Amino acid sequence: MGFSNAWTIWGLTIVASVCLLATRCRPVATIYIASQKELGKVNRMIFGNNQLGYQYGAWEYTAPEYSDRGAGIWDPELNRPVTEMVQFARNIGMTTARYPGGCGSHLFDWKKAVGPIEQRPKQKFGLPEFLRFCEAVGAVPVITIADYFGTPQDAADLVEYLNAPNDGKHPWAKLRVTDGREEPWKVIWFEFGNETDHGAHKGMSDFGKWQRFTAEEYAQRYREYWKAMKAVDPNIKLGAVLTNDVTPNLSDWTKTVVKLTGDIADFYIHHAYIPHYYRNDGVPDAKTLFQIAFAGPRQLDAYYRELRRFIRNVTKRDIPVAVTEFNGHFVQEKPVPYRFTLGCALVVAELLQIFMQPDLNIVHAQYWQFANEYWGMVKGYEPPYTLRPAYWVFWLYRHYFGDLLVECKVECDSYETEGGYGVLPARGKPTLFQLFPTNLLPEQRWTLQNVNGVKHWEGPDGTLVVEILTGEDLNYYHAVKRMPAEPLTGYRVTAEIRTEGLTKSRGAQIQVGDGRGWIATRSASLSEEVKSEVWRTVSVDYITLPDTREIEIRVRRLEGTGSEGKIFVRNLRVQKFTPFNLGSVPLISAVASKKEDGKRVFVAIINKSLDEPIETKIIGVKARRAFAWTLTGQGVDATNELDPNAVRPKEINGIFVKRGEIVLVLPPHSFTVVVAE
């Protein structure tokens, strides 16, 4: 498994050093627009959102506000969408809506979410209610099918409920009519599972023991579901789940799923979360953290390009990608909840710029997520509501962006960062990944720590054997090797692993991290899991912290109940690598569009400078006048949690047109839309 997928699991904690490469007192930028060079239509399907309909009691994070109220978008007492929420969704141009949302869909039984309300008292916000919300908003539904519950026939029944005619031959269509809908809903977009590679969650144990499919098992199930659903309605499209990589180093799961489904897959699914930050100690400070964060979206651009290249080469088809979740992955509260900050909204604004590039072939995307819960861009179950900064990013794109993308190039200063939290270092000129052949691991035996329920030993040939004697909850990490390491350096660890038993539990894997341990540093990466009696080679990449002096390598079987069994590990190696580097980060990113009649040109601009405004010229637009709106605040860590107007779009004064050039000053840490006419 590649370095990026491991970071998705753990989140690397490198503190960045940031230096502005500019020498001027105030940075400047020039944006060149070639409005006659059309790149393609603006795909409004990327401006989607997630809606939550988790089943009550299905796992530890569910509650009635999701199963009854859809996290605030549904009024179960009046049996209708919440009027304000519908208007909020329309105001941001919500084009797609995904249901039932995230990991709550692993074991979601859709048949408990349809039928008379009185027969589902704990699921008043069910499938027909979600579709009524979509209809009120004008959004295209995207429905996630449970990956760890149900059968292909259940999925076929779902398609019948949604899309078959009520002609007496389709009992599920008859139930749809009972639910108040005579005509078929004609739902097109389905995805088979949500982040299936990480398995159903431990908190879902009410539905059975922990499960995790291998990539091969998932691909086979995808084919079975695809066949069953297409038999009911050949027009539906079913997506296959890839891993949430954030660098072009594709994971083994992703490669395997593409290889085994590429002849039939309708689209592939990726979740774009960057950076991955979990700390509550305010380290690093907000400015340093968001300098790191602002370097992240470019990585995803590189990832989608590599993914498209790989899909084309393997399948000989141009299969699109849907990004059914995206956001900055800030999972913390102190000093402020960074997921609700202006800085996170700017990351989202640039992700949308990437998704709209036609050469990436992204078919639709859904922000995580619309209302309440942990991430919602709209806060509140009744007035007064709080509209968080990310909401205003969508609002600006909705009201001040055109129909056709046109060529846009930027000249500006840049800055450097050592990266961290899933973001690669960004320094100087771009460089390619380079792996050095020498095995750096010193000759040593495994250090084995005592743990109840386990026997482990090292054989004469150096093979580690771990015998798990209990099916009870056991988190194994008690075999370790250590070695000296340099700061801010890449290390790739490879090993051969096989298992016996463990068919119903977590598999075996390798973890590499800072020698001070996970608890002290929150810095580690994990390889792919192995559950196979055949030897499998796994690898994991790790970049050390600025103060690292030692790394530790552990054999892991993550927590979770399941079966007894054995783990075998041999041929451990450690190699140094030079990370893939996109080069220093431009202070400005921009995209441009125009109306189909050509009478208006729109430029959407992100200013990543955290202290200085940027004097900006827009060249190539034949404009007589221009105006601009900007989203900014007192600091990059500003939120609307206490003051709902702290981060809100404001019209820019002082923009003017001079000899056909548009001149304005972009505020620091801002998202600005310019309209020229």
Domain boundaries, the chain: 41-412, 414-426+584-676, 434-578
Intervals of the chain under pLDDT 70: 1-25, 58-62, 201-210, 560-561
Predicted local confidence at residue 18, as pLDDT = 41
Identify the architecture of domain 41-412 in CATH.
Alpha-Beta Barrel (3.20)
Q: Which fold has domain 434-578?
A: Jelly Rolls (2.60.120)
CATH of 414-426+584-676, one of 1.10.10.10, 1.50.10.10, 2.60.40.1180, 3.30.2310.20: 2.60.40.1180
At 300, which helix (H) or strand (E)? helix 296-315
pLDDT of residue 60: 59
Q: Half-sphere exposure (CA, 13 Å, Cβ side) for 310?
A: 20
pLDDT tens sequence across 546-560 = 789 999 999 999 876
Residue 634, classified by CB atoms within 10 Å of its CB into exposed (0-12), middle (13-18) or buried (19+), is exposed
* pLDDT reported for residue 10: 28
CA dist., res. 594 & res. 407, Å (int): 10
The pLDDT score that the predictor gives to residue 202 is 54
Beta-bridge mates of residue 143: 99, 190
Joined together, the tokens standing for residue 480 give 């370790």
467 burial type by CB count under 10 A (0-12 exposed, 13-18 middle, 19+ buried): middle
Residue 578 pLDDT: 87
pLDDT of residue 560: 63
pTM above 0.85, yes or no: yes
| Strand (E) or helix (H) holding 210 | none
Give the burial class of 397: count Cβ atoms within 10 A of its Cβ; 0-12 exposed, 13-18 middle, 19 or more buried: buried
Q: Do domains 41-412 and 414-426+584-676 have the same CATH topology?
A: no
Q: Report the C-alpha gap between 150 and 188 in whole angstroms.
A: 20
